[in-house]
Amino acid sequence: MENSQYNSTVTGKILITPDLMVLRIRTDEPRDTFKAGQFTAIGLLASEKRSPNSVVVEENLKPEALIKRPYSVASANHETQDFEFYISQVKSGTLTPRLFNLIQGDRIWVDKRIIGFFDLSMTPSGCNIVMIATGTGLAPYISFLRSHLRDHKETKLVVMHGAAYLWDLGYRSELEFINFNFDNFYYYPTLLQADDSWKGLRGYIENHLENKILEDIGIEINPEKTHFFLCGNPKMINSVSDFLAKRNYTRHSKKNPGALHIEEY
Ligand SMILES: Cc1cc2nc3c(=O)[nH]c(=O)nc-3n(C[C@H](O)[C@H](O)[C@H](O)COP(=O)(O)OP(=O)(O)OC[C@H]3O[C@@H](n4cnc5c(N)ncnc54)[C@H](O)[C@@H]3O)c2cc1C
């Protein structure tokens, strides 16, 4: 019998690798309008099975406990009932092994609130936007682009995505499509473990910034002209923040607006 807490249905699951997926969920009721880049919580009961591709861990959870975690919404903000998430499996984790065991049609819980301050509302029009991510930290930028690509024709938009292997580059075809069709959009995937067939960038994002990859396309690293968004691995966030601090960037907060926006997972 279905748990009465479940309020949504899995409508799609695309495994990009065995530990990386795009999960699509339809909520029974539409959610309020939200801002691209915000997150919501999703959850499953502890009684749900873990994926066979996860680590067996000792868990002291009551079967009726609802395990909830926050996830950035990757879909466009005009979709208020059909949501997309980009999720990596922490094999020893509590929720993600259960999420990876879901199949289309399964029921799930989704919070009624969509919240967070990682959005474009404090980026003045006329500013370039540089979106830097590692791994699933790409999710909020997919929502930015699906929601607002057409609003930013006059400025430059950049996505820099760091990953280990080529197959970890989720959303690559969508980003290459935008790159091909929009002159003001630049997509820079960079890999740490690529084989010889990879002709793109290699190594850490901060090294590419030091090597003036942005200046080469006419982007000035100046808080008045370019806003930076960072999402993902704490090491990347620290080193890119240090790089930007030397160029007079301050971290944005509600109290102290700045041109450096950070979402830590
Ligand atoms: C605002 C916000 C948005 C988020 N959005 C996303 C998203 O879009 N996609 C996504 O995949 N995750 C996202 N996360 C992380 C997510 O909420 C969970 O923390 C993650 O999925 C692990 O959950 P779990 O229950 O499986 O692991 P837990 O049982 O909670 O954690 C087990 C251990 O794994 C560590 N851990 C957590 N995440 C990772 C990781 N990625 N790699 C390695 N170790 C990890 C934890 O620090 C902990 O020590 C977001 C987090 C925040 C705060």
Q: What is the mean pLDDT of the chain?
A: 96
**What average pLDDT does this structure show over 152-156?**
91
Q: Ligand 1 within 6 A of 89 CB?
A: no
- Residue 225 tokens, joined: 């002209």
Residue 218 exposed, middle or buried by CB count within 10 Å (0-12, 13-18, 19+): exposed
Ligand 1 centroid – CA 174 distance (Å):
24
Counting atoms of ligand 1 from 1, which one is nearest the CA of 71? Answer: 5
Ligand 1, residues 23, 51, 90, 264: which to mutate, most atoms within 8 A of Cβ?
90
Beta bridge partners of 13: 23
Q: Ligand 1 within 6 A of 69 CB?
A: yes
What is the pLDDT confidence band of residue 38, given thresholds at 50, 70 and 90?
A: very high
What is the pLDDT confidence band of residue 99, given thresholds at 50, 70 and 90?
A: very high
CATH architecture assignment, domain 128-264: 3-Layer(aba) Sandwich (3.40)
Give the β-pairing of 128-134 and 157-163. Answer: parallel
- Residue 200: the pLDDT is 96
**What average pLDDT does this structure show over 191-219?**
96
Q: Ligand 1 within 6 A of 118 CB?
A: no
Beta bridge partners of 128: 226
Q: Ligand 1 within 6 A of 94 CB?
A: yes
Measured distance CA(120)–CA(128) in Å, rounded: 11
Domain residue spans of the chain = 8-110, 128-264
The pTM assigned to this predicted structure is 0.96
Which one is predicted more confidently, 1 or 250? Answer: 250
- At residue 187, does pLDDT exceed 60? yes
Ligand 1 centroid – CA 230 distance (Å):
16
- At residue 93, does pLDDT exceed 70? yes
- Residue 153: the pLDDT is 87
> How many CB atoms are located within 10 Å of the residue 191 CB?
19
Rg (CA), the chain: 19
What is the pLDDT confidence band of residue 212, given thresholds at 50, 70 and 90?
A: very high
Ligand 1, atom 32, residue with closest C-alpha: 93
- Residue 3: the pLDDT is 66
Beta bridge partners of 232: 264
- At residue 156, does pLDDT exceed 80? yes
- Residue 52: the pLDDT is 96
- In the sheet that 8-17 helps form, which strands lie side by side, from edge to edge? 66-72, 39-45, 107-110, 8-17, 20-27, 82-88
Ligand 1 centroid – CA 244 distance (Å):
26
pLDDT digits (tens, 9 = 90+) for 231-249: 999 999 999 999 999 999 9
Measured distance CA(71)–CA(74) in Å, rounded: 9
- At residue 113, does pLDDT exceed 90? yes
- At residue 137, does pLDDT exceed 70? yes
- Residue 4: the pLDDT is 83
Q: Give percent of the chain above pLDDT 70.
A: 99
Name which CATH class applies to 8-110.
mainly beta
What is the pLDDT confidence band of residue 2, given thresholds at 50, 70 and 90?
A: low
